[in-house]
């Protein structure tokens, strides 16, 4: 069987959506919450005849990828995160670009020669590449009303991907993808007042209103770090709230902490929008950290390392 492996955020879901609208294929879906990135190991090498892997860090899945290739499984890999050492194999086709102004859906859009560009634009907005997405709107003659709806769609689908487990989410990412697959064009989603777009809009607005009470742990002219309470709503907004903070203060780096069950903290980091580099460099200094230049995270930051994290964040951008 064929396996489609994809990140549970807007970029991963909408990258696969573009591909399967253009190239329909029966597949087994493997995905999870946004932070669940060790997904490739879930591919059954005994059953796999091929695999597509989207928006999942190769660096975090090198061994599983190497195992697939060693078992003669062709792999199509599209991503924009850190790669580590890329395996050399004629069975691996990779489209990887780690530029801070690129996301997986835009790479898929290029691969498909813009066949489903509206979904790619929504994904770029969801990945907080607002200027890039706006430029694509201009290039494709997308007017402001539709552009605003695409921005909202990308934001809501991205918001849906954050949680401790899929129980925190409004839609399991695989279910959300399959529901979206019923809409060849996003305009059809917007015109249906009972569609998931409006369900997610209502939930997003409610959660973001609650996020305004976040505790500020540290703030100066270089960075701001906030902490959200241990609740499903706070885990859902941890990423999009970071984007919102970054858009409000584009010269600052931002960190959003959310408490885990074991007392550690999940951390979402956003580089300054006016200097989109280094978020991954900050996060990889901690054992469970990773990501990309503009946005990265730490899955389990021990409480006693919070001050160290703040110091590392501040010193990097100082």
CA distance 87 to 94: 10
Residue 282 and residue 312 in contact, taking contact as beta carbons nearer than 8 Å: yes
SS3 assignment, position 72: coil
pLDDT of 37 higher than 90: no
- Give the residue carrying structure tokens 């019923």: 182
| Predicted TM-score of the model (pTM) | 0.89
Please report the pLDDT score of residue 239 as a whole number: 87
Q: What is the arithmetic mean of pLDDT over 149-170? A: 96
pLDDT at 94: 96
Q: In the predicted model, is pLDDT for residue 83 greater than 90?
A: no
Residues 6+ apart with CB under 8 A from 241: 208, 211, 214, 226, 228, 256, 268
**pLDDT the model gives residue 67:** 97
For the chain, the average pLDDT equals 96
Question: What are 167-184's pLDDT values in tens digits?
Answer: 999 999 999 999 999 999
The confidence band for 234, taking pLDDT boundaries of 50, 70 and 90, is very high
Contact by Cβ (8 Å): 302, 285: no
Q: What's the rounded Cα separation, in Å, for the pair 261 and 245?
A: 25
Half-sphere exposure of 228 (CA within 13 A, CB side): 28
pLDDT at 292: 87
3-state SS, residue 189 = helix
Q: pLDDT exceeding 90 applies to what percent of the chain?
A: 93
What is residue 35's predicted lDDT score, i.e. its pLDDT?
Answer: 84
User: For residue 68, what pLDDT band results from cuts at 50, 70 and 90?
Assistant: very high
Q: What is the pLDDT of residues 84-134, one digit of tens each?
A: 889 999 999 999 999 989 999 999 999 999 999 999 999 999 999 999 999
* Strand ordering across the sheet containing 92-96: 28-30, 2-6, 50-54, 75-79, 92-96
Predicted confidence band of residue 43 (pLDDT cuts 50, 70, 90): very high
Cβ atoms of 53 and 77 closer than 8 Å: yes
| Residue 117 to residue 122: CA distance in whole angstroms | 9
How far apart are alpha carbons 212 and 221 in whole angstroms? 20
Please report the pLDDT score of residue 182 as a whole number. 93
- CB-based contacts of 105, cutoff 8 Å, min separation 6: 10, 11, 14, 15, 18, 55, 119, 120, 123, 124, 127
Average pLDDT over residues 288-317: 95
Average pLDDT of span 64-69? 97
pLDDT > 70: what percent of the chain? 100
Integer-rounded Cα radius of gyration of the chain: 19
Pick from 58, 47, 70: nearest CA to 7: 58
Report the 10 Å Cβ neighbour count for 247.
13
Q: What is the predicted pLDDT for the residue at 85?
A: 87
């Amino acid at each position: 069987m064929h396996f489609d492996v994809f990140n549970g955020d807007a970029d991963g879901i909408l990258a696969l959506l573009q591909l399967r609208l253009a190239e329909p294929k029966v597949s087994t879906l493997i995905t999870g919450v946004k932070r669940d990135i060790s997904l490739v190991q879930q591919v059954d090498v005994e059953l796999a005849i091929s695999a597509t892997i989207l928006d999942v860090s190769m660096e975090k899945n090198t061994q599983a990828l190497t195992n697939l290739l060693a078992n003669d499984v062709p792999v199509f890999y599209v991503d924009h995160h850190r790669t580590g050492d890329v395996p050399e194999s004629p069975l691996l086709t990779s489209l990887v670009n780690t530029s801070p102004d690129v996301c997986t859906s835009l790479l898929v859009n290029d691969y498909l020669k813009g066949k489903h560009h509206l979904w790619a634009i929504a994904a770029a907005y969801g990945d907080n590449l607002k200027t890039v997405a706006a430029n694509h709107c201009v290039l494709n003659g997308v007017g402001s009303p539709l552009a605003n709806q695409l921005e909202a769609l990308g934001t809501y689908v991205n918001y849906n991907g954050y949680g401790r487990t899929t129980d925190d989410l409004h839609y399991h990412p695989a279910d959300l993808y399959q529901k979206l697959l019923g809409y060849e064009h996003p305009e059809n989603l917007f015109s249906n007042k009972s569609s998931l777009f409006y369900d997610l809009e209502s939930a997003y607005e409610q959660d973001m209103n609650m996020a305004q009470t976040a505790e500020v742990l540290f703030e100066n002219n270089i960075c701001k770090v906030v902490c959200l309470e241990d609740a499903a709503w706070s885990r859902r907004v941890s990423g999009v709230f970071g984007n919102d903070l970054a858009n409000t203060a584009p010269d600052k780096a931002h960190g959003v902490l959310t408490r885990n069950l074991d007392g550690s903290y999940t951390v979402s980091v956003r580089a300054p929008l006016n200097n989109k580099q280094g978020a991954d460099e900050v996060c990889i200094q901690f054992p469970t950290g990773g990501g990309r230049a503009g946005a990265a995270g730490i899955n389990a930051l021990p409480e006693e390392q919070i001050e160290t994290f703040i110091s590392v964040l501040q010193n990097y951008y100082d």
